[in-house]
Amino acid sequence: MAKESMWALLIFVAAIRGSLAGIPREIHLLRPRSGSAGERVHGLSCLSWRLGVETNNIKNWTTVPLECEGYVGHYMLGHQYREDSKVVAREAVLYAKSLKLAGDGKDVWVFDVDETLLSNLPYYAKHGFGAEPYNSTLFNQWVLTGKAPALPETLELYRELLKLGIKPILLTGRTEDQRKITSSNLRNAGFGNWEMLILKGSAYSGTTAVVYKSSERRKVEESGYRIVGNIGDQWSDLLGIHAGNRTFKLPDPMYYIS
């Protein structure tokens, strides 16, 4: 297990470094690059702001405050983000191992994709770690490269669940036209053998992520599956109905999806 975890970490670091190769050196020093794009908040403590975000006490925000661009960058590229993710994944593994499974192939675990299975840090490092307003055109161009690396902690969780006989169901806000590249990216990053890959169809245009994901989880359970666990980086991955027997929130202070 330790060797697999270390190998996944090395792959993750190499992928991030390779994707950042064309960025000026200043990004590694985390000098703010976003100009006046983000919101300024007077007297802001960025650590407290991140705590408010992770506990869902700060809601419906659109950009990381400019004062926190460097803080969020250091966090995401540094040791603490990995440690926080590791704690969540470890608790999920311990919970999964405690379950008495039916063994009928109907026990499933719901995974979000972006910032849960795949990391978009190479993209966000070029765009202020969330301090720049979201640009769907640029982000979709990044998605179509298919180069997002795996998050090592959730890759390890994913593999442990497969060993236990729990089937992964991937439920993402990516759209149907991105199915081929998303499937390829996931497999290249080490994820495979999923039971379903659910992407957002046109019928959900204009709906919130909570409505979309709740509806799709309901369909999963109506098909006879039992959602024993659910993990995502956004509260909208975990709120709503049919969320599963237990939910796990991964850290992500770069953006907020309602």
Nearest-angstrom CA–CA distance, 150 and 188: 9
Work out the pLDDT band at 95, boundaries 50, 70, 90.
very high
pLDDT at 193: 98
Output the pTM of the full model: 0.87
CA angle 193, 224, 92 (to 5 degrees): 55
Q: Is the Cβ–Cβ distance between 193 and 74 less than 8 Å?
A: no
**How would DSSP label each residue in 52-69?**
HHHTT-S-S--S--GGGH
Q: Residue 96: which residues within 8 A CB-CB, separation 6 or more?
A: 109, 160, 161, 164, 166, 228, 229
How far is Cα 15 from Cα 27, in angstroms, rounded to an integer?
Answer: 16
Return d(Cα 186, Cα 228) in angstroms, integer: 22
pLDDT, residue 27, reads 36
More confident residue, 2 or 233: 233
With a cut of 90, say whether residue 214 has pLDDT above it: yes
Distance CA 255, CA 258 (A): 10
* C-alpha neighbours within 13 Å on the C-beta side of residue 178: 22
**pLDDT, tens only, 141-179:** 999 999 999 999 999 999 999 999 999 999 999 999 999
The strand pairing partners of 107, in sequence order, are 226
Whole-number Cα distances in Å, 219 to 16, 43, 92, 183: 36, 46, 24, 21
Among 235, 178, 167, smallest CA distance to 201 is for 178
Give residue 43's pLDDT. Answer: 73
Rounded average pLDDT over 115-121 = 97
